[in-house]
Structures are given as structure tokens and as C-alpha cells.
Amino acid sequence: MLSLNINGANHSVDVEPEMPLLWVIREQLGLTGTKFGCGIAQCGACTVHLNGEPVRSCSLPVSSAVNQKITTIEGLTSDSSHPVQMAWKALDVPQCGYCQSGQILAAASLLKRIPKPTDKDIDEAMTNICRCGSYQRIRAAIHMAAGTGKGIGSVIHYAGPGAANAKTGISTDLEIDH
């Protein structure tokens, strides 16, 4: 039996020591917010915090996580109130959403390490893959959560139907702060 501390609760699991933490979390403990994406620590969908640091749980044997503090997306907050989660909601960051647990945990950890990250800091820390391409809004949401940006997720030029010019559709511009 291995002893794990996940989201503040202790669990005993009877698994092979080499079983990756991801599968223990998902299948043995039923916490499915942590996702399987690649199995080789490339995509980051399986990101969890190990003692506050982001790790890719698909490639971490459960034995190396014994008696350490593990936080999954379910344990980040109980009410989605982490500034990163708030910003994610405010900017409608997720598209399919599958990678977002990992993205949010990576971002939360970045902000803990660097409270006011630059774009370069974000580039270096946020190596998780998002296949839908929500990167621009992830970046904006991190800035929003950090208070380092005015939280404009997207630069959008859009003229409403009333203003539409039949030829090009462009007449007046409307920049939408979302």
C-alpha cells in the first residue's frame, strides 16, 4: 500500500510503484479533471502540483509522489475562485477545454513563482499544448490574473449589422473588450 496526500486528503492505494501518478489519480481515486494526452510528458494535459510545483503526472511513477503534497485541478480551489480560474472564465479561454486543467495549474504555478510575468516568462512556463489554439486568451488571462494586462483577450474589429456596408461589411470599427 502506498500513501498519497491529494488535495489535502490522505489515500492508500494498492498499485505497482511504477504506475504513473496520472492513472492513480484518474482511475484509482476517480479524479478525472487530470487528463491523459500523450503519456510522455510532452503535452501537459496531466499537469498536477507536487509540493506546489507543476509536474507531468503521466510520466511520474506514483512511488515518487508518496507522502508529498499533490494538488489536482479539483483541489486548486473548491469554488473556482483562484485568480487564474476567474480570469479564464472572464475571457472565455477554453474551447474544447480538455487541456485547460493542465494549463490552469501551469499558470497558477507560474504566478506563484513570478507574480508579474512578462510575455517571455509566459512563453517559457506555458509549454502545454492546446490543440484548439486558445493560447492568445491564455496569455491574456494570465496577464489579467496577474494584473499585468488590461485583460483584453482578443483584438476584434467588428461592425454590427446596422453599420454593415453591403460591399465590404466594414464601416465603423468596434474594438471589443471582453
Q: Per CB under 8 A, which of residues 28..57 are in contact with other proteins?
A: 28, 30-40, 42-43, 45
Instruction: List the one residue out of 157, 162, 154, 149 whose CA is nearest residue 174.
Output: 157
Among 11, 66, 135, 149, binds other proteins (CB under 8 A): 135
CB of 147 to other proteins, least distance (A): 19
Of 95 and 148, the one with the shorter C-beta distance to other proteins is: 95
User: 113: left (phi > 0), else alpha (psi -120 to 50), else beta?
Assistant: alpha
Q: Which is nearer to other proteins, 8 or 30 (CB)?
A: 30
Report the half-sphere exposure of 76 (CA within 13 A, side-chain side). 28
* Residues listed for the chain: 178
53-56, strands of its sheet edge to edge: 9-13, 2-6, 69-71, 47-50, 53-56
As measured in angstroms, the least distance from the Cβ of 159 to other proteins is: 7
CA-based torsion, 148, 124, 89, 83: positive or negative:
negative
152 binding other proteins? (CB under 8 A) = no
Q: Of 52-111, which residues contact other proteins (CB under 8 A)?
A: 72-74, 76-77, 80, 85, 88-89, 92-101, 104
Class of residue 122 by CB neighbours under 10 A (exposed 0-12, middle 13-18, buried 19+): buried
Q: Minimum CB separation from other proteins for residue 53, in Å?
A: 19
Site for other proteins contains 133 (CB under 8 A): yes
Closest CA to 142 of 113, 166, 176: 113
To other proteins, the closest distance from the beta carbon of 115 in angstroms equals 19
CB of 55 to other proteins, least distance (A): 16
Give the DSSP letter of residue 65: G
For other proteins (CB under 8 A), the number of binding residues is 78
Residues 3-32 that bind other proteins (CB under 8 A): 15-16, 19-20, 23, 26-28, 30-32
